[in-house]
Structure 1
C-alpha cells in the first residue's frame, strides 16, 4: 500500500504529472480543480477563458510528485488550443454534469478528441460531477458505469461543492500514473520490465474513510480493491 502525503516540499521534485480536465462548459471543471488544489469553492465562479493550470505537490512512496492540473474552457471557440493543451499529458479527467444529460452524451466526442491528440497510454477517469444534486439527476449511474467499462476508464461521481470524492478522484488517477511511470523507470534502468515487475509494483491502494471507491477500469489496480 502506498503512503501519500500532501503539502509543499523543499526537496527535489521526482516527477511532474500533467493531468488535463476536459468536458463541456459549466460542468464544474474549474471548481473540481480549485477544491483539489486549494480546498476552495466559489459560488460565483466565472467561465474559464482559454487555459489555466494549478499545481499541487504530493509525496507518494517517498517520492515527491508535482501534479500540474490543466483546466480548459469547454466552449467551442477555444478549441484551437487543443494540441498544445494535450501535449505531455499523462492523465485526463472527462467531466460531465450529472444533472445535464447532454454533457454526458458529449463524453464520447471529448474522449475521441483526447485519444486523437494525447498519448495512447494516458490514464483516463470519467467524472460525474454535482452529485450533491441527486434529486436533479439526469444521468443514471449505471449509464456512466457502462460507458466507463466499455471505454476502459476509471469512474467516480463527485461534488466539488461538498468536496465529495474530489481528493479521492485526483489521488486515484495520480497513483495510477505513478504506478505506470515507476514500472517504466524500472524497465529503463535495466530492471524487470512491466511483466516481470508486476508483483513488485502492483496493488497500490487508496483508502479514504466514508467515500465510495471508484469503479475500476479493466486491469486497473488502485482506488478500490486490488
Structure 2
C-alpha cells in the first residue's frame, strides 16, 4: 500500500463545466452561502469564489471557478482549465440537450487542461441538477449509467431544496485531497455490464412488447420464451444490482405474459 503523504499545499482548484443555464452558479451559491437565488444572472465569462473546508483533519482553502457555459465565452474559460484538480460536470435533468453536451465538455477540458496526465488526474463528479422541478427528460438511470461508464462519480441535486448539494461538494473535495495526498483512491467502476445496461434500456424504452423482447411480430411461443430466458439470465435480481434492473425485470415478465397470450404455437 502506498504511504500516505501530506499535501504540499492547503489549496485546491475546482471548476464547473456544463451548458448555460443548467444551474451551476445556483449550485455553488447554495453550497457556499446556504441559500437559493431564484433569479440569477448568467455567468459572464468566469465567476470566482473561495471557501474553506476541513478535510482529513486539515483546513483546505478551495478556489472555485464557475465557468460560463455559453459558447461565446470559450476564449475566456479555456484559460482556466489548467491546474484544476476537481470538476463538477453539470446538466439539467429537464434539458435533454444539456445531457447530450457532456461529451463535448469533457473534450474541451482535455483539450485545454494541459498534459494528458492532468486530464487523467482530474477528479470529475457528474451533477444532475433541478431534480425538484419534474418533467424530466433524462432519468437517473441514464445519467448514472453515463457517468459510471466513463469512470466519473454521480450525484442528483437540487439547488432549490438543497438536496445532495453539501454531499456533492464535500465528496468532491475529499476525493481531490485524497488523490493529492497519494492515498489509494478506488477508481469509479460501473456496477453493471454493458450487456445489462443495454437490456435495461431496451426494456424501459421499447415501444411495444415485441420490441422489448427483441422478437418479430408473429413470433412463436418458443421464440418468445427463448428471448425471455436470455434476458432473464442477464437481469435476474440475484445477479444484477444496477439501478433500474428490478423495474426492467418486471417489465420483462409482463411483456412475456402478454405476448404468450396471443402467440402462435
TM-score, structure 2 length as denominator?
0.64
Q: Contact 1:14–1:63 at 8 Å: present in 2 too?
A: no
Distance 2:126 2:56 in 1: 26
The question of 1:61 aligning with 2:56 is answered yes
Compare relative contact order (CA 8 Å, sep 6+) and give the higher one, 1 or 2.
1
Any idea what SS the aligned residue of 2:78 has?
helix
**Structure 2 partner of 1:136:** 135
Q: Secondary structure at the match of 1:147?
A: helix
Question: 1:87 and 2:82 equivalent?
Answer: yes
User: Can you give the 5+ residue segments of structure 2 that lack an aligned partner in the other structure?
Assistant: 1-7, 191-265
Which of 214, 217, 220 is residue 188 of structure 2 equivalent to?
A: 217
**CA distance in 2 between partners of 1:44 and 1:82 (Å):** 23
Q: 2:17 aligns with which of 19, 22, 32?
A: 22
Hey, what's the Cα distance between the residues in 1 that align with 2:141 and 2:85? Answer: 27
| Partner SS for 2:181 | helix
**TM-aligned CA deviation for residue 115 of structure 1:** 2.0
Q: Does 1:103 align with 2:102?
A: no
Q: CA deviation at 1:54?
A: 0.9
How many Å separate the matches in 2 of 1:160 and 1:45? 12
Q: Is the 8 A contact 1:57 1:65 kept in 2?
A: yes
In the alignment, the residues of structure 2 paired with residue 114 and residue 14 of structure 1 have an alpha-carbon distance, to the nearest angstrom, of 24
Q: Which of the pair is proportionally richer in helix?
A: 2
Contact 1:56 1:66 survives alignment (8 Å): yes
Gaps of 5+ in 1: 1-12, 184-193, 204-215, 220-226
RMSD over equivalenced CA pairs, Å? 1.8
CA contact (8 A) 2:14 2:86 kept: yes
The alpha-carbon deviation at position 143 of structure 1 amounts to: 1.1
User: How far apart are the structure 2 equivalents of 1:217 and 1:128?
Assistant: 17
Q: Does the CA-based 8 Å contact 2:149-2:189 persist in structure 1?
A: no
Q: State the TM-score, normalizing by the size of structure 1.
A: 0.74
Secondary structure of residue in 2 paired with 1:89? coil
Report deviation, 1:218: 2.3
